[in-house]
Structure 1
């Protein structure tokens, strides 16, 4: 649980990146690749400030996630990324006036419940190396 702040940082930077990318694509309008050089269109998208900073935020999120993966089990850390959907859905409702109907709210509740269950499973045995160290200790105790 001591790495939970890093996991949540990963989740929030991931969600922030999604929101920035959406804002960037809104500001660009509909992108049509017909009759134009696709490379120039892609460059037009990437140099949009919202898209550019969204991509940079994704890099920060990924670096944070790599750090987390070096410290905790993947099966513990990865499900927390589903909380990014929760954050994106809520912020998209307020920022972009996207629909947040009963089905989505029910899904968000299930995601939150599942994440709480996974968090409860991770008291201390989810640090990388903890299981290996305790197994080798038990093996050496048995052989003596």
Structure 2
């Protein structure tokens, strides 16, 4: 549970990156490519300030996620990224005036409930960790034993 703030930082930077990318693409308008303009158009997209900021924010989010993965189980950390869907939907509603209908709200509620259950699983494994370590049955010990 002590890594939840880092996980939430990853979620928020991931969501912020999505919002920046959307703003950048709105400022550019619909993309059209021709053989003559494809390379110039790609550079125009990449160096749009909003798109560039979104890509940098994605890189920060990925670095944060790598830190989290070095500390907690993937099956615990990864589902939290679904909260980025929640944040994006809510902010898109307020910032971009996107539709937030009953189906989307129901989906968001299910995501929140599922993430809550996963967070609880992390709490129970932390409470058993000292017992397992005292018995010499930590995950690392099991992995070493099975490798031998």
Please report the TM-score for the alignment, with normalisation by the length of structure 2.
0.85
Unaligned residue ranges in structure 1 (runs of 5+): 140-144
Paired residues, number: 136
In the alignment, which residue of structure 2 is the partner of 1:43? 43
Work out whether 1:88 is the aligned partner of 2:74.
no
Q: Deviations over 1:49-102 (max 9, x none)?
A: 000000000000000000000000000000000000000000000000000000
Once residues 35 and 70 of structure 2 are traced to their aligned partners in structure 1, the CA distance between those partners, rounded to angstroms, is 46
TM-score (norm 1): 0.87
Structure 2 residue runs without a partner (length 5+): none
Structure 1 counterpart of 2:139: 132
Does residue 52 in structure 1 map to residue 52 in structure 2? yes
- Cα offset, 1:40, TM superposition: 1.4
CA distance in structure 2 between the aligned counterparts of 1:23 and 1:49, rounded to whole angstroms:
10
Once superposed, which parts of structure 1, at least 4 consecutive aligned residues long, lie more than 2 Å away? 34-37, 124-127, 130-136
In structure 1, the partner of 2:108 is: 108
* C-alpha distance in structure 1 between counterparts of 2:125 and 2:71, whole Å: 11
